[in-house]
Structure 1
Amino acid sequence: MRGIGRINALPDELILKIFLHLDSKMSWDACSLVCKRWLMLQRLGRHTIRVGASASPHGLINLLARRFVNVRNVFIDESLSVSPPVQSGRRQRADQSPLSALRLHCLNEEDSGLDSYCLSDSSLSAIGDGFIKLEKLSLIWCSSITSAGLQAIAEKCRFLKSLDLQGCYIGDAGLAAVGECCTLLEDLNLRFCEGLTDTGMVQLTFGCGKTLKSLGIASCPKITDVSLEAVGSHCKYLEALSLDSNNIQNKGLVAIAKGCRLLKDLKLQCVNLMDEALQAVGIFCSSLELLALYSFQRFTDKSLIAIGKGCKRLKNLTLSYCYFLSEKGLESVAAGCPELMHLEVNGCHNIEACGVISIGKSCNRLSELALVCCPKIDDNALSEIGRGCKYLQALHLEDCSIIGDNAISGIARGCRNLKKLHIHQCYEVGNEGIIAVGQNCKFLTDLSLRFCDRVGDEALISIGEGCSLQHLNVSGCHLIGDAGITAIARGCPQLSYLDVSFLELGDIAMAELSEGCPLLTYIVLSDCHQITDVGLSYLARKCTLLETCHMVYCHGITEAGVATIITSCLKMKKVLVEKWKVSQRTKRRAGSIISYPCIDL
């Protein structure tokens, strides 16, 4: 570029505003390569950094803090793999990522041994010193940090609004320091923080109770109802609560319900809670919009009746393995919560068809319905959903043994805005229902029919003629062959995901896919015995955007076919194949993207 480009005549503030409209890290990185000025501005405009496990976390944190001074969001996840140090004089591997190279560059000579691979209290102190504008901090499975490090963060990062400590073994003193210093804290996640007790939680609520809006507690065995009573007393503005504990009794949740009247989201997996607790939620939490109940064995329809009477704004309800619920509870929710938009019923074996029928009659705003392991839900129930829920966009059915074609046809005719349809292991569903979907649901983009073994080519021909799919899974539908997949290839040019495992497909289908679906990025061909290297060559030639390919137990595919698809698809990130089909040359070229099944086939 000769002279000064026109865009470089703009002031820094305006260029930064332009940068803020970039929608990906790749775009930011590309801008930083234009010139030194843009590199500097890109660093000033970077507000978020994400870091995995590092060979030298302390050095990496210091380096990032020097380069990106305006960072407000820091995410550190030590569950991600660590980059091993390289020995001096040895070339960097060709498959090593730039971030790995950066981490290795930060490796200090004195860093040796396992401890140097874990974020320490001194690293937390460096975060506090380097990112003075920090608002959101996420520390996932950082097992070496203690209360001392958390206290350092709390004292230095007074503007902190969100803190995620999942899997960190911090103690009460650290949590108390957060409550004392971070008086703007709104979001706190304490999943798997096994070192905490009620003492730390109570002290936290004294300090930031007025600002806390979201709280998550799971697998913290020393936290009891005492903590929840403190939350109920001091956190009047709490809007979201997630609890997973065997130690919580009715007393704690009742205190939450009485004290946190603005509660909107409530997720519970507490086996000792009974009707008294959920009845209190129904009485006092009139603003509740989301309720998720998992593995409840001690409450009955009385709880849902109270929810239906008191929570008129409820929009999202999940009931998972709540064994003592019947259709009466669901009927109460349908009658009292007309704004319900999402309903998931999973493993509630006593809920019969009339409960779902009542949802269809009363909740005409329903947009998403999931029924999993519901053996008593029949065609009449789904037909009522089709008649009453015109705005339904997503339907998930799994292991519902008596639902058949009449139900799917009723949904197709009534719910013409359907975009996502997943039907898994519903053995009474066949061609008739899916043909109706193809004829009526023109907006469908996501179809999954796993192990629906009565669905054949006629159904897919209808889908190919009527819908423009982006996602298709017909794994285990053994009646589907080349004709059905050919219809999809010719009618769905936007297809990006395809799972045809366990089908008797041949190379003809692969040739059609290569011609008709150039946007394909993810394909599963496992157990397709008739596909050969020729079929793979068709895919490799035209589907150049492929990133993932599973081809385990495909008898016709050899090491030559594996090599072809790996060398031709330059964007490939994962190939799953038997180890004996990978040549040494292919392994040297692309060993980092090749995965093998757990059991050699």
Structure 2
Amino acid sequence: MRGSDLINAVLPDELILEIFRHVDSKPSRDACSLVCKRWLSLECLSRDTIRIGASAAPGNLVNLLSRRYPNTRSIFIDERLSISLPVKYIKRRRTNRDGSDQSMPGDDVMGTNSLSDAGLAAVGESFLKLENLSLIWCSSITDVGLRSFAEKCRSLKSLDLQGCYIGDGGLTAVAECCKFLQDLNLRFCEGLTDAGLVLVAVSCGRNLKSLGVAACAKITDLSLEAVGSHCRSLESLSLDSEIIHNKGLVAVAKGCSMLKVLKLQCLNVTDEALQAVGVFCLSLETLALYSFQKFTDRSLYAIGKRCKKLKNLTLSDCYFLSNKGLDSVAVGCSELTHIELNGCHNIGTDGLKSIGKNCVQLSELALLYCQRIENDGLSEIGKGCKYLQALHLVDCSGIGDESICSIARGCKNLRKLHIRRCYEVGNKGIIAIGQNCKFLTDLSLRFCDRIGDEALISIGQGCSLHHLNVSGCHQIRDAGIIAIARGSPQLSYLDVSVLQNLRDNAIMELGEGCPLLKDIVISHCRQITDTGVSYLARKCAFLESCHMVYCPGITEVGVATIVTTCTRIKKILVEKWKVSARTERRAGSIINYLCVDL
């Protein structure tokens, strides 16, 4: 009944808190907190994760958040992201008669956009239950701040210092104070040497499970030898280094037999190291090799022979690996579910055939810049891998409609298909996808210039898409997009840029048929006008971003209409001369300019 409370009078705090813990979506939690003051207070008590971007006063923001969310266990601070403090927390200044600035009385908010040592110390003092801390490109943090934090948060389990300019002193403090550390990311921490990492391995080795190191020119094989000796529980290692040689990686392979994830970009590592991985790391599940010019098929022989649990394989720019090496992995590692081949120019059709015949559990395949793979190879995937759900093809000139038809007939569970610059793929292959792959929700056909309306009509009749990208497919006109609009009511993302023949009719149909549309890219569509975008803005209440540069039919009137009509809009990309002074005043923070002077 209206006016009576049927929930708060009955449910205790503990039960409402338990309900909040099962609400995963942040917007849903925010909505719950608006019900009443009691729910707001309880939701704040239940929230355990905070994400912070660069702000006008990060230290003060930390203090503000600590009072509101006292039970926080995970904090992610990424200074590549930007947020703003509420107005009342922004530092106010006034000008003296002599022209100098003076802070207003009572204002103590600092004007820096970087988290300082004092702010990091405040994190340690305020969030007493903190277990996970991520500091991404926090350039003002030094060893002093990290030591102050480490002394307070001795229960820390995960620490990400990517891009922070800390040295051995700060890492030593972490080693001394945070004995329960399990995950450590030191990517782009250029000030570190072996001294700090060796101490972490010795002090935290019993619990350390994940380690990431990249672009640390002073970290050598000595550190990896310490990891191999003390970190027996290590499960994940990500290493990008020009300094590391076989000695260090062999030590890790011998000492860390529980290793499950290995990602390497080490120019001076050879077959010897990967052969050791194959011999000792029998629990390996993920292997990613980038830019290796000293690995040969002997490495893959060792992996295929012993690593029977391997599920994920990425080979990128490994020029000396051939079909024989890939065949040995396919035969020996029958549990493979994800494979990416990127720029491996000696791997061709025969290697992919072996994958199709042996890896029947394959669910995702990416072939990027694989010029030697032809229709026969991908057709074998269609015949043998019926559980395939995602296929990515980029610049594969030998792949055409024949193999796409094979995929359509054999992989009926396909949900994602991304094809870019595969010029032999045309309407026939995509029509087969529409007829057979009824679960497809994500389709990208960028710059496939043989694909036209017939293909999209088939997709519109057979699939209900959430994401569609047909940028650069110049044969597509209104009929194809209209078919998508009528067949995909849940479409949320659409890129139709560089479709020169697309008109307002198609855009208006999208407004009618796709009310959930959030992101649209119509740049370089020369025949779309204010009429189309204004209709779209009125019909798509959830629109958040719109890219519309180089659209001569869209004027400042169309831009103003989107700004005033779309209450959820967060980003508009447009030429500066199409933004009136009034629109700039109203929505300057969400407008991005590609071209300043035209």
TM-score normalised by length of structure 2: 0.94
Q: How far is 1:575 from its partner?
A: 1.1
* Equivalent residue letter for 1:250: N
Mind listing any 5+ residue stretches in structure 2 that lack a counterpart? 96-102
Matched, 1:583 2:584: no
Query: Is contact 1:181-1:207 (8 Å) kept?
Result: no
Matched, 1:49 2:50: yes
Instruction: Give identity over the alignment, percent.
Output: 70
What aligned pairs does 1:202-213 form with structure 2 within 5 A after superposition?
A: 202-213=198-209
Who is 2:593 aligned against? 596
Matched, 1:291 2:292: no
Matched, 1:76 2:77: yes
Q: 1:117 and 1:515, CA in 2 relative to 1: closer, same or farther beyond 3 A? A: closer
Distance 1:448 1:29 in 2: 33
Matched, 1:559 2:561: no
Who is 2:523 aligned against? 526
Q: 1:511 and 1:27, CA in 2 relative to 1: closer, same or farther beyond 3 A? A: closer
Distance 2:443 2:453 in 1: 15
Who is 2:124 aligned against? 128
Matched, 1:541 2:538: yes
* Equivalent residue letter for 1:16: L
Distance 1:3 1:564 in 2: 42
Q: Deviations over 1:46-78 (max 9, x none)?
A: 212222223333333233223322111112222
Matched, 1:469 2:470: no
Question: Which range moved further: 383-392 or 534-543?
Answer: 534-543
> Per the alignment, in what secondary structure is the counterpart of residue 449 of structure 1?
strand
Who is 2:177 aligned against? 181
Distance 1:461 1:29 in 2: 40
Query: Is contact 2:91-2:109 (8 Å) kept?
Result: no
Distance 1:29 1:414 in 2: 44
Q: How many residues align?
A: 585
Matched, 1:353 2:349: yes
Q: How far is 1:494 from its partner?
A: 1.5
Distance 1:76 1:388 in 2: 45
Distance 1:6 1:39 in 2: 15
Distance 2:163 2:123 in 1: 19
Q: How far is 1:144 from its partner?
A: 2.0
> Per the alignment, in what secondary structure is the counterpart of residue 79 of structure 1?
strand
Distance 1:205 1:138 in 2: 20
Distance 1:493 1:106 in 2: 54
Q: How far is 1:149 from its partner?
A: 1.9
Distance 2:188 2:122 in 1: 25
Distance 1:571 1:138 in 2: 29
Question: Which range moved further: 378-387 or 568-577?
Answer: 568-577
Query: Is contact 2:91-2:110 (8 Å) kept?
Result: no
* Equivalent residue letter for 1:336: G
Q: 1:3 and 1:567, CA in 2 relative to 1: closer, same or farther beyond 3 A? A: closer
How much is the aligned-residue C-alpha RMSD, in angstroms? 2.1
Who is 1:99 aligned against? none
Who is 1:268 aligned against? 264
Query: Is contact 2:577-2:596 (8 Å) kept?
Result: no
Match of 2:159 among 144, 160, 163: 163
Question: Which range moved further: 121-130 or 278-287?
Answer: 121-130
Matched, 1:407 2:403: yes
Q: 1:4 and 1:362, CA in 2 relative to 1: closer, same or farther beyond 3 A? A: closer
Question: Which range moved further: 22-31 or 208-217?
Answer: 22-31
Q: Deviations over 1:524-573 (max 9, x none)?
A: 11111111111112212212221111111112111111212222221111
Matched, 1:304 2:300: yes
Distance 1:351 1:11 in 2: 63
Q: How far is 1:425 from its partner?
A: 0.3
* Equivalent residue letter for 2:45: L
Distance 2:60 2:92 in 1: 18
Distance 1:352 1:171 in 2: 45
Q: 1:6 and 1:398, CA in 2 relative to 1: closer, same or farther beyond 3 A? A: closer
Who is 1:250 aligned against? 246
Q: Deviations over 1:349-394 (max 9, x none)?
A: 1111000000000000000000010111000001100000000000
Distance 1:404 1:411 in 2: 11
Distance 2:493 2:322 in 1: 38
Who is 2:511 aligned against? 514
Query: Is contact 2:56-2:110 (8 Å) kept?
Result: no
Who is 1:98 aligned against? none
Q: How far is 1:8 from its partner?
A: 3.7
Question: Which range moved further: 151-160 or 402-411?
Answer: 151-160
* Equivalent residue letter for 1:256: V
Q: How far is 1:218 from its partner?
A: 0.8
Distance 1:60 1:579 in 2: 33
Distance 2:370 2:106 in 1: 58
Who is 1:101 aligned against? none
Match of 1:383 among 376, 379, 382: 379
Query: Is contact 1:270-1:296 (8 Å) kept?
Result: yes
Q: How far is 1:442 from its partner?
A: 0.8
Q: 1:373 and 1:108, CA in 2 relative to 1: closer, same or farther beyond 3 A? A: farther
Q: How far is 1:593 from its partner?
A: 1.3
Q: How far is 1:9 from its partner?
A: 3.8
Q: Deviations over 1:14-56 (max 9, x none)?
A: 2211221223333333444444433332332221222222333
Q: 1:390 and 1:526, CA in 2 relative to 1: closer, same or farther beyond 3 A? A: same
Matched, 1:372 2:368: yes
Distance 2:562 2:520 in 1: 12
Q: How far is 1:89 from its partner?
A: 8.1
Q: 1:5 and 1:106, CA in 2 relative to 1: closer, same or farther beyond 3 A? A: farther
Match of 1:487 among 466, 483, 487: 483
Q: Deviations over 1:403-433 (max 9, x none)?
A: 1110111111111111111110000111111
* Equivalent residue letter for 2:58: P
Q: How far is 1:211 from its partner?
A: 0.3
Query: Is contact 1:59-1:107 (8 Å) kept?
Result: no
Q: 1:130 and 1:410, CA in 2 relative to 1: closer, same or farther beyond 3 A? A: same
Who is 1:66 aligned against? 67
Query: Is contact 1:540-1:565 (8 Å) kept?
Result: yes
Query: Is contact 1:56-1:107 (8 Å) kept?
Result: no
Q: 1:219 and 1:8, CA in 2 relative to 1: closer, same or farther beyond 3 A? A: farther
Query: Is contact 1:60-1:106 (8 Å) kept?
Result: no
* Equivalent residue letter for 2:159: L
Distance 2:350 2:328 in 1: 12
Question: Which range moved further: 518-527 or 10-19?
Answer: 10-19
Q: Deviations over 1:463-510 (max 9, x none)?
A: 111111111111111111111111111111111111111111111111
Matched, 1:424 2:425: no
* Equivalent residue letter for 2:66: A
Q: How far is 1:157 from its partner?
A: 1.2
Q: How far is 1:280 from its partner?
A: 0.7
* Equivalent residue letter for 1:463: I
Q: How far is 1:599 from its partner?
A: 6.0
Distance 1:377 1:107 in 2: 70
Query: Is contact 1:59-1:106 (8 Å) kept?
Result: no
> Per the alignment, in what secondary structure is the counterpart of residue 174 of structure 2?
helix
Distance 1:220 1:231 in 2: 16
Query: Is contact 1:59-1:108 (8 Å) kept?
Result: no
Distance 1:470 1:111 in 2: 44
